[in-house]
A and B are shown apart, each in its own frame.
Chain A
Amino acid sequence: MNAIDLAVPRGAVYGFLGPNGSGKTTTIRMLLGLVRPTGGTHALLGRPIPAAAASVLPRVGALVEGPAFHLYLSGRDNLRRLDAADRTADPATADARVAAALDRVGLAAAARKRYRAYSLGMRQRLAIASALLAPRELLILDEPTNGLDPQGTREVRALVTALAAEGATVLLSTHLLAEVEQVCTHVGVMHRGRLVAQSPLTTLREGAAPLVRVETDRPEDAARVLRDHGLASVAVEAGAATALLGPAAPEKLVVGLVEDGVPVRGFAVLAPSLEETFVALTGEGFDVSG
């Protein structure tokens, strides 16, 4: 871990993205005071951790590395226990806050069920409910859709989106690009313990270099033409050639291809997918451990 400064604007949903093993969870564990750095200091909401943990953490709701509750207690009793442990919580409003949090995540009907009987999606939602027991400055959600089936994933993503719409500030750690594209407004990318990029999602997309793709049955020839026009990163695949467009004008490329007798079946200028952007940032396939 090295000099990470996560700037999460108020009201943003910040996608904290990185391959498995890139240090996302370790960063979160440090922010929550669960583990100590081998050297140096760190701060959360501008206050040093763990020194100021007692005053900062009550304002932070967290889901860390999956839900964890007592199997033999009901969802409601599990939340009551966490609330009882919170010295800043008002006991007089405990039952109402627990009920409201369960209701917010759609677990009101299952409140009295034992946690043992909860599906994985319900367990994740209960963990999010535990983060909603008090008003928070920040919600830290670490891989909230991990291990969920498509139905559970939809449930949890809809919940995060709804919370964000209500104005919550969310730090969402994930290795799923689709999640970031659907849910997040800002994004930071971790790679091998470093934060390699951080910006609003729209900026990141605009900054990405467009690609040109030529579909043809003679990709080698097409690649040669693209190279002759000064395009970089020319690649050949079955039935197509691709390259970074750069400053070249696409219409001139088409003319050049036709003049060289390359049979063009298709021609497209593509904004790169988010995935390609991240591969460019991290220099390797996305699901490969860093």
Chain B
Amino acid sequence: MSAVDLTLPVPRRRVSTRFFRSELRLIFGRRRNWVGLATLAAVPLVIAIATRVAGGPGGGEGPDFFAYITDNGLFVALAALTVELPLFLPIAVAAIAGDSVAGEANVGTLRYLLAVPVARARLLAVKYAGVVVFAFAVSFLVATVGLVAGLALFGGGAVTLLSGTQVGMAEGLLRLFGVCVYIGVCLCALGAVGLFVSTLTEQPMGAAIAVIMLTLASFVLDQIPQVAWLHPYLLTHHWTDFGELLRDPVSLSALRPGLLSAAAYVLIFLSAAWARFGSRDVTS
């Protein structure tokens, strides 16, 4: 078009969290996601009730928190996180991250958002911010439900750490908080992979399943000694390191590889998502 005289003033662009808040409402207001969150919250309840009814220690992967549950309800939270970390939590985050861009493309709302206009970098940033909030939310949800159920059924008190020493309840809660943050960070790395996969397709389910498969493949490869050289680079290799937060003294250097690995995954896959989505033709 040529020679157009404009009557409306050039619109002022403002900095606002409205779009981000809208994104959170979209994630947390959706009935499907409530069901997912309820499922995640059911696990610590089942653990607490089953332990109360059956009594005695059970088994589990990673640090064995089940043995301590009857001593202190706080361990229900840790046991639930340990149980959910290999599958339930990754599925939840993969579903949200896989849906982030592909879901909008699938419904066609992506073209309307871009026509508003929403800059593509801003769209990715808001989508990823939503995934990050969700990742921390599920981690804290499982811990909180476990904590409340555990304290109700088994009571609190001094917390026996993995190194055998005892700390007070307040410090125990602080360490549980640290565990939730660490697991949240790990899930954010998974979310970055999910966001990238989500920019590749218009099928949200396909994206979610692909991310879950990648996570499972990472767990499997981590079990194969012949590829030990690969282990430190795997997405999930450092996830169970959160047990370090339950030793005395807490070894921050033991947590560093996991945090650095997560940061590297976030950086690489957000860049890949931008490279893919920034110039993509939106034809859905």
**Which A positions have Cβ atoms within 8 angstroms of B?**
5-8, 10, 29, 32-36, 43-46, 53-55, 57-60, 62, 64-73, 80-82, 84-88, 91, 130, 134-137
Proximity bits, B7-31, A CB within 8 Å = 1, else 0: 1101111111011011000100011
Asked if B224 is at the interface (CB within 8 A of a chain A CB), the reply is no
Partner of A7, one of B2, B22, B114, B282: B2
Structural contact, A85 and B8, CB atoms closer than 8 A: no
**Residues of A contacting B18 with CB < 8 Å?**
84-85, 91
Give 21 CB contacts A-B under 8 Å: A5-B2, A7-B1, A32-B111, A32-B114, A32-B115, A33-B115, A34-B281, A35-B283, A36-B279, A44-B1, A46-B4, A54-B117, A54-B119, A58-B116, A59-B11, A62-B112, A62-B115, A69-B107, A70-B109, A73-B26, A137-B7
Knowing A65-B111, A82-B112, A85-B118 are in contact, say whether A46-B22 is a contact too (CB < 8 A): no
Structural contact, B282 and A35, CB atoms closer than 8 A: yes
**Residues of B contacting A54 with CB < 8 Å?**
13, 117, 119
Asked if B56 is at the interface (CB within 8 A of a chain A CB), the reply is no
Enumerate B224-258 residues with CB–CB distance to A below 8 Å: none
Structural contact, A84 and B109, CB atoms closer than 8 A: no
Structural contact, A135 and B8, CB atoms closer than 8 A: yes
Of B3, B11, B26, B281, most A-chain CB atoms within 10 Å: B11
Nearest neighbor of B3 in chain A, beta-carbon distance: A46
Structural contact, A36 and B281, CB atoms closer than 8 A: yes
The 7 lowest CB-CB distance pairs between A and B, nearest first, are A68-B108, A88-B11, A57-B117, A84-B22, A84-B18, A35-B281, A87-B13
Structural contact, A34 and B282, CB atoms closer than 8 A: yes
Asked if B170 is at the interface (CB within 8 A of a chain A CB), the reply is no
**Residues of A contacting B1 with CB < 8 Å?**
5-8, 43-46
Knowing A6-B1, A8-B1, A82-B116 are in contact, say whether A137-B8 is a contact too (CB < 8 A): yes
Nearest neighbor of B108 in chain A, beta-carbon distance: A68
**Residues of A contacting B2 with CB < 8 Å?**
5, 7, 43, 46
Nearest neighbor of B118 in chain A, beta-carbon distance: A85
Nearest neighbor of B109 in chain A, beta-carbon distance: A68
Asked if B152 is at the interface (CB within 8 A of a chain A CB), the reply is no
Structural contact, A72 and B30, CB atoms closer than 8 A: yes
Asked if B113 is at the interface (CB within 8 A of a chain A CB), the reply is yes
Enumerate B130-184 residues with CB–CB distance to A below 8 Å: none
Asked if B220 is at the interface (CB within 8 A of a chain A CB), the reply is no
Asked if B6 is at the interface (CB within 8 A of a chain A CB), the reply is yes
User: How distant is the Cα of A68 from the Cα of B104 in the complex, in angstroms?
Assistant: 9
**Residues of B contacting A45 with CB < 8 Å?**
1, 4, 6
Nearest neighbor of A8 in chain B, beta-carbon distance: B1
Structural contact, A81 and B111, CB atoms closer than 8 A: no
User: How distant is the Cα of A70 from the Cα of B26 in the complex, in angstroms?
Assistant: 9
User: How distant is the Cα of A43 from the Cα of B7 in the complex, in angstroms?
Assistant: 18
User: How distant is the Cα of A130 from the Cα of B2 in the complex, in angstroms?
Assistant: 26
**Residues of A contacting B7 with CB < 8 Å?**
10, 137
User: How distant is the Cα of A270 from the Cα of B175 in the complex, in angstroms?
Assistant: 89
Partner of B112, one of A55, A58, A64: A64
Structural contact, A53 and B30, CB atoms closer than 8 A: no
**Residues of B contacting A68 with CB < 8 Å?**
107-109, 111-112
User: How distant is the Cα of A60 from the Cα of B114 in the complex, in angstroms?
Assistant: 12
**Residues of A contacting B113 with CB < 8 Å?**
82, 85
Q: A32-B117, A53-B117, A82-B112 are in contact. List 18 more A-B contacts (CB 8 A).
A: A29-B281, A29-B282, A34-B111, A34-B115, A44-B1, A46-B3, A58-B116, A59-B8, A59-B11, A67-B108, A68-B108, A68-B111, A72-B30, A84-B19, A84-B22, A85-B118, A86-B118, A88-B12
**Residues of A contacting B26 with CB < 8 Å?**
70, 73, 81
What's the least CB distance linking A48 to chain B, in Å? 11
User: How distant is the Cα of A60 from the Cα of B117 in the complex, in angstroms?
Assistant: 9
User: How distant is the Cα of A73 from the Cα of B108 in the complex, in angstroms?
Assistant: 14
Enumerate B252-274 residues with CB–CB distance to A below 8 Å: none
Of B4, B31, B114, most A-chain CB atoms within 10 Å: B4
Of A7, A60, A82, A136, most B-chain CB atoms within 10 Å: A82
**Residues of B contacting A69 with CB < 8 Å?**
107, 109, 112
Knowing A34-B114, A81-B26 are in contact, say whether A55-B11 is a contact too (CB < 8 A): yes
**Residues of B contacting A7 with CB < 8 Å?**
1-2
User: How distant is the Cα of A35 from the Cα of B7 in the complex, in angstroms?
Assistant: 27
What's the least CB distance linking A270 to chain B, in Å? 36
**Residues of A contacting B118 with CB < 8 Å?**
85-86
Knowing A65-B111, A84-B18, A137-B6 are in contact, say whether A58-B117 is a contact too (CB < 8 A): yes
What's the least CB distance linking A134 to chain B, in Å? 8
User: How distant is the Cα of A69 from the Cα of B113 in the complex, in angstroms?
Assistant: 10
User: How distant is the Cα of A54 from the Cα of B57 in the complex, in angstroms?
Assistant: 60
Nearest neighbor of A43 in chain B, beta-carbon distance: B1
What's the least CB distance linking A130 to chain B, in Å? 7
Partner of B22, one of A55, A71, A85, A87: A85
**Residues of A contacting B31 with CB < 8 Å?**
72
User: How distant is the Cα of A88 from the Cα of B26 in the complex, in angstroms?
Assistant: 21
User: How distant is the Cα of A86 from the Cα of B11 in the complex, in angstroms?
Assistant: 11
What's the least CB distance linking A199 to chain B, in Å? 16
